[in-house]
Amino acid sequence: IEKPQSRSIDRLFTTSRHLLEGERVQGARCKVKGVRGSGVRHPSKQHRTKKTLPTAPPSALPHPPDTNTQTRTNKHTHTKLHTNAHLNIHAMEKRTTGRLETLKEKMYNKETKSQTKFCSVYPLLPVVFRIPLPTRIATSCNPHFELISSIVVSVSKRPSCSPYPTRYPLPATNLHMQAIVFDPKTNNFGLQEIPKPKPGKDDVLVKVEACALNPIDFKIAYFKDMIPATANNYVAGLDVSGTIVEVGDAVEDWKTGDRVLYHGDLQRGMGGLAEFAVHKSATLLRHPAVNADDAAATPCAGWTAYRCLVDKLRVNEDDVLVISGASGGVGGFAVQLANILGVKTIVGICSAKNIPYVMSLGATHVIDYKSQDVGKEIMAITDGKGASKVLDAVGGKSCEDLIQVMGFDAELVSIVQPVNISADKNPVFGGHSFHHLGLGAAHGSGPQHEARLAEVGKQVTQYLADGKLRSCLTKVIGLKDVPSALQQMMAQRTVGKVVVSMSQNPSKKHYKK
């Protein structure tokens, strides 16, 4: 726990920690001004307006709140502080379906028989304290919850010292830059002038040359509750190619002027859809000897494809590998990498118009999912045995259909959403295995996972530099075209990779597919 210096914030911080630890805090009163939340206000205001305190969903609350008692007695108890300190665990609560009982039990005030209120708020300003959850809470959360490793208390005043852990928004400089900023209220992206970020001690500041677009960029709208940075000029863009212009105090291996390539950390919001971006130095790669646009097209899609085939499916030459979404970013790299890895039967799935493109990448068979019966075609290709390895880059029904054509002992990896295993009619006797992969989740998951990310990046960029792998680049656009390009990407019709080039700004250049 990092200790801030401002007195009022210190108090909020300490008291919140006590609350988490289940201690009663006598006379605690939060004096930080301007705190706001969704409906829960300062108790004195509740007195005046006679508002009923909002309640959490009944299933999630082990003890029903006694709002009267709370309003009467909370003047000098910690409940009052709770209504001021917005504990942004609502998102977590929604998704862990009742697994937070332990935490809630702790927040139950036995004396006043009142239950702490939970509210979902976004920080007004980038003042974020991260309070590590008690370990047993963290471990009781389901795996999709690894992203939530802290409770965020937000207040409207910036403390005099910087308590920011390096992954969260850093103080900005007085200088400004052009960036595509995500607006969490409208879920839209817009070109804006925002303060140029400053690298933390383990970071580098990169002058962006090119940045690829990925579906995850617009999907931030789904994750925003889990990412505090979305409240503060959140800049998306994970696949960055550029040159270091500033290094943090603790950075040893990199210097100003080094050209780099990296896959960014979604949680930080200082991405590459801007003139300057910040990234932790641990997962930087030396820029491969290819142009910036081609290099930027690779990380998210190419490294994901590599990890799926090598780390998860462990493909071998005898496999019948089925790749859905073969004409998209991940699919395009997967088809090529499967070839490099020696897989003899590569079945791509896409619509008719993209068949020539997928064949050109090296697929041995391509199925048009719109006019053909995918299941029947796969069974025909495999003489009724079914696929031995499946990479699903589409999700939903497409994934469920592919489960039906998995052969004995087959494996499937999903990169879109959790596999609906109940769709498998023969999971045990079929010996089926299911994997999930989240490339960027490696950030902040420990040095060995970050090292693996960089290692995979090195291998894929080596293939690119050696000319064994094409970058799948199909379109280069300028920064101002990003909002409309992301809108189009949501339709799931993108072929290959779209890259934003800072030098192209604002003109458009189309590559031949």
Ligand X SMILES: NC(=O)c1ccc[n+]([C@@H]2O[C@H](COP(=O)([O-])OP(=O)(O)OC[C@H]3O[C@@H](n4cnc5c(N)ncnc54)[C@H](OP(=O)(O)O)[C@@H]3O)[C@@H](O)[C@H]2O)c1
Give whichever of 83 and 324 is closer to ligand X, judged by the CB atom.
Answer: 324
Q: Does 300 bind ligand X (CB under 6 A)?
A: yes
- Alpha-carbon span 22 to 85, nearest angstrom: 16
Contacts with ligand X, 465-504, as mask; x by CB under 6 A: ------------------------x--xxxx---------
Among 327, 345, 471, 501, binds ligand X (CB under 6 A): 327
Give whichever of 242 and 299 is closer to ligand X, judged by the CB atom.
Answer: 299
- Alpha-carbon span 368 to 372, nearest angstrom: 6
Q: Does 304 bind ligand X (CB under 6 A)?
A: yes
Q: What is the rounded (10 degree) CA torsion for 84, 86, 87, 93? A: 120
Q: What type of residue sits at position 462?
A: Q
Q: Does 328 bind ligand X (CB under 6 A)?
A: yes
- Alpha-carbon span 63 to 83, nearest angstrom: 17
CB atoms within 10 A of CB 365: 17
Give whichever of 28 and 321 is closer to ligand X, judged by the CB atom.
Answer: 321
| Residue 229 tokens, joined | 């940075």
Q: Cβ of residue 8: shortest distance to ligand X, in angstroms?
A: 41
- Alpha-carbon span 322 to 257, nearest angstrom: 42
- Alpha-carbon span 15 to 19, nearest angstrom: 6
Among 238, 301, 366, 399, binds ligand X (CB under 6 A): 301
Give whichever of 54 and 375 is closer to ligand X, judged by the CB atom.
Answer: 375
Among 6, 116, 283, 324, binds ligand X (CB under 6 A): 324
Q: Cβ of residue 378: shortest distance to ligand X, in angstroms?
A: 13
Q: Are 269 and 351 in contact (CB under 8 A)?
A: no
- Alpha-carbon span 382 to 408, nearest angstrom: 12
Contacts with ligand X, 145-164, as mask; x by CB under 6 A: --------------------
- Alpha-carbon span 87 to 257, nearest angstrom: 42
Residues 187-226 that bind ligand X (CB under 6 A): 214-216, 219
Residue nearest to ligand X (CB): 328
Among 438, 454, 465, 504, binds ligand X (CB under 6 A): 438
Q: Cβ of residue 91: shortest distance to ligand X, in angstroms?
A: 19
Residues 418-437 that bind ligand X (CB under 6 A): 437
Q: Does 169 bind ligand X (CB under 6 A)?
A: no
Q: Cβ of residue 83: shortest distance to ligand X, in angstroms?
A: 38
Give whichever of 241 and 324 is closer to ligand X, judged by the CB atom.
Answer: 324
Q: Cβ of residue 232: shortest distance to ligand X, in angstroms?
A: 24
What values do phi and psi take at 46, rounded to 5?
Answer: -65, -35
Q: Is the peptide bond before 506 cis (omega within 30 degrees of 0)?
A: yes
Residues 354-393 that bind ligand X (CB under 6 A): 354, 369, 393
Q: Does 398 bind ligand X (CB under 6 A)?
A: yes
Among 30, 415, 442, 486, binds ligand X (CB under 6 A): 415
Q: Cβ of residue 115: shortest distance to ligand X, in angstroms?
A: 37
Give whichever of 398 and 420 is closer to ligand X, judged by the CB atom.
Answer: 398
Q: Does 416 bind ligand X (CB under 6 A)?
A: yes
Strands of the sheet containing 128-132, edge to edge, are 86-87, 150-154, 128-132
Which residues are 349's β-sheet partners? Answer: 324, 367
Q: Are 264 and 271 in contact (CB under 8 A)?
A: yes
Q: Does 394 bind ligand X (CB under 6 A)?
A: yes
Among 350, 387, 390, 499, binds ligand X (CB under 6 A): 350
Q: What type of residue sits at position 410?
A: A
Give whichever of 255 and 370 is closer to ligand X, judged by the CB atom.
Answer: 370
Give whichever of 405 and 439 is closer to ligand X, judged by the CB atom.
Answer: 439
Q: How many residues bind ligand X (CB under 6 A)?
A: 32
Q: What type of residue sits at position 322?
A: V
Q: Does 331 bind ligand X (CB under 6 A)?
A: yes
Q: Does 325 bind ligand X (CB under 6 A)?
A: yes
- Euclidean distance between the first and final Cα of the chain, in Å? 52
Which span sits near ligand X by CB under 6 A: 13-21, 124-132, 222-230, 350-358?
Answer: 350-358
Find the radius of gyration of the CA atoms of the chain: 25
Give whichever of 77 and 214 is closer to ligand X, judged by the CB atom.
Answer: 214
Give whichever of 72 and 493 is closer to ligand X, judged by the CB atom.
Answer: 493
Give whichever of 148 and 151 is closer to ligand X, judged by the CB atom.
Answer: 148
Crossing angle of helices 447-465 and 329-340, in 10° steps, is 80
Q: Does 457 bind ligand X (CB under 6 A)?
A: no
What values do phi and psi take at 93, rounded to 5?
Answer: -60, -40
Cα angle 117, 120, 124; round to 5: 115
Q: Which ranges of 341-446 would DSSP assign to H, the alpha helix?
A: 355-361, 374-381, 396-403
Q: Cβ of residue 44: shortest distance to ligand X, in angstroms?
A: 46
Give whichever of 85 and 322 is closer to ligand X, judged by the CB atom.
Answer: 322
Give whichever of 360 and 503 is closer to ligand X, judged by the CB atom.
Answer: 360
Q: Are 156 and 121 in contact (CB under 8 A)?
A: no
- Alpha-carbon span 97 to 202, nearest angstrom: 36
- Alpha-carbon span 267 to 147, nearest angstrom: 9
- Alpha-carbon span 69 to 379, nearest angstrom: 66
| Residue 166 tokens, joined | 């390096």
- Alpha-carbon span 369 to 27, nearest angstrom: 66
Residues lying near ligand X in the complex (CB under 6 A) are found at: 214-216, 219, 300-301, 304, 324-325, 327-331, 349-351, 354, 369, 393-394, 398, 415-416, 437-439, 489, 492-495
